[in-house]
Structure 1
Amino acid sequence: MDHNEASGSSTATQGYGTDPNLVTPDTPWPRTLSERQRKLIVALGDIILPGTDEYPAPSAVGIADFFDDWVSAPYRTQQKDATVITTGLAMVDEASHQQFGIGFAELDGSRRRMIVDQIASTTATDRSFFVRFRSLLLSGYFTTDIGFKAIGYVGNVPLVEFPGVPPEVQRIIDDELRKLGL
């Protein structure tokens, strides 16, 4: 046994790396969205999920950063989403230019809503962009501290006492275990 093995370290194997820094996260890949695309994400996101007096709009919680990180990631799912999102953003901006002579981000709220309503209710390609954009928007928003508060999620908190599984939930678990023969 060499010194590295005896001390618990190994220069031969690196493992998967360290745990992510969730306090001040850092993305290990370059961001790929342009400033124009980020502005479109903000404008579109705020129409789909407008802020309230209690909970701000997605633009206020950094939704463009979430999208930029997501579509810039070098993974198959995110790369597929990058194509859908960037193509869809271009389509939204083009529809705005065709109808109103200016880009989507420069439109007022009522005209933005007109474009969104048209996209959400039209062809399968346009609709698939809208559905995926909305899904990512909600995922990004409701995993922020503000989003957690909005849905009442308190996270992993210590309990003085564990109340146990509610009887109606235990019945469901028992039924499923029986079906599996366990």
Structure 2
Amino acid sequence: MGGMASSLFLGSCITDKEAPIEEGDIIEEKEGYGRTPAEEERDEEIYSKEFFSKEEMATIIILADIIVPEDEESVSASEAGVPEFIEFIVKDIPGHQLPMRGGLLWINRESSKRFDAAFNEISEENQMEIINHMAYPKDFEKNSQGSIFFRNFRDLVVTGYFTSEPGFKYLDYRGNTPNVWDGVPSHILEKHGMKYDEDLLKVAMDPETRNEVMDWNKYEV
């Protein structure tokens, strides 16, 4: 899920056309979050503005936690900062603003029609009735406003969650870290009629010496 969702935004990032990154720009390292001065300035501008109202953010928190609830293995979407991620995304990529706001309005209208109250004010059971209607639509409703909104919103939640620190831990994502390679599997070697030299194998595949430069002059190639 994380791999699928992350691809949604890798190609959608908006760069600052007025202040492109120039060769020689100094990237300041801040706990692994390297930004150029122009990028930092743009981030500050985005963070200084608010798009969603308090009522809209309350709905976003409820929806996000329904999609990724807290369990024994990890925290909920809201605890991982997903609502703040969505707020950032709609300001960074304005094309999300109208669909997101329109979808939130649709949910409140649907809640008022069914239960005569705003979505944030109805019971969890009634909230799930509306969510299930959007998440599992009948064939003729798959392109309805509610269903389209929920699909887009779910993608944002999954992307935000699995690119957060709790999401990394949940996936046991290690990043670009060294590991130990123990060679080509034996059945593959047998398939191609090949095998490792046993003396070389003891040295070349020794995890204790994997950071040392190999002296190939000791062996015949």
Please indicate, yes or no, whether the TM-score normalized by the shorter chain is above 0.5: yes
Of 14, 18, 22 in structure 2, the residue corresponding to residue 15 of structure 1 is 22
Structure whose alpha-carbon radius of gyration is higher:
2
Moved over 3 A (4+): 16-26, 161-168
Q: What is the CA-CA distance between 1:20 and the residue it aligns to?
A: 7.4
**Are residue 101 (structure 1) and residue 116 (structure 2) matched?**
yes
Distance 1:128 1:104 in 2: 18
68, 80, 83: which one pairs with 2:95? 80
Give the number of aligned pairs: 151
Match for residue 115 of structure 1 among 122, 126, 130 = 130
Deviation of 1:32 (Å): 1.3
Q: 1:20 to 1:94 in 2, by over 3 A?
A: farther
Contact 1:47/1:112 (<8 A) preserved: no
Deviation at 1:91, TM superposition (A): 0.7
CA distance in 1 between counterparts of 2:114 and 2:71 reads 29
Deviations 1:3-61 (A, max 9, x none): xxxxxxxxxx9728654766497733223111111111101111122221221111111
Gapped runs of 5+ residues in structure 2? 1-19, 34-39, 189-221
> For residues 31 and 131 of structure 1, what CA distance do their matches in structure 2 show?
24
8 Å CA contact 2:69, 2:77 repeated in 1: yes
Structure 2 CA distance for partners of 1:20 and 1:85, relative to 1, 3 Å: farther
TM-score (norm 1): 0.70
1:40 is aligned, of 53, 59, 65, to 59
Would the aligned equivalents of 2:161 and 2:167 in 1 still touch at CA under 8 Å? yes
Tell me the CA shift for residue 115 of structure 1.
0.6
- The partner residue of 1:133 within 153, 167, 185 is 153
CA RMSD for the aligned pairs?
A: 2.8
- Contact conserved, 1:96 with 1:104, CA < 8 A, in 2? yes
CA distance in 2, matches of 1:80, 1:148: 27
Structure 1 residues 163 and 71, CA, compared in 2 at 3 Å: closer, same or farther? farther
Question: Paired residue for 2:71, among 36, 52, 60?
Answer: 52
User: What TM-score comes out, normalization by structure 2 length?
Assistant: 0.59
Instruction: Tell which deviates more after alignment, 85-94 or 101-110.
Output: 101-110
Work out the CA distance in 1 between the residues paired with 2:184 and 2:106.
49
Q: What is the CA-CA distance between 1:123 and the residue it aligns to?
A: 4.7
State the distance in 1 between where 2:184 and 2:61 align: 41
**Percent identity of the aligned residues?**
26
Question: After the TM superposition, which of the residue ranges 146-155 and 134-143 deviates more from structure 2?
Answer: 146-155
- Counterpart of 2:162 (choices 136, 142, 161) is 142
Determine the C-alpha separation between the residues in 1 that align with 2:113 and 2:171.
Answer: 38
SS of aligned partner of 2:73: coil
1:7 maps to none
- Structure 1 residue identity aligned to 2:133: Q
Structure 1 unaligned segments of length 5 or more: list them.
Answer: 1-12, 169-182
Asked if 1:158 corresponds to 2:178, the answer is yes
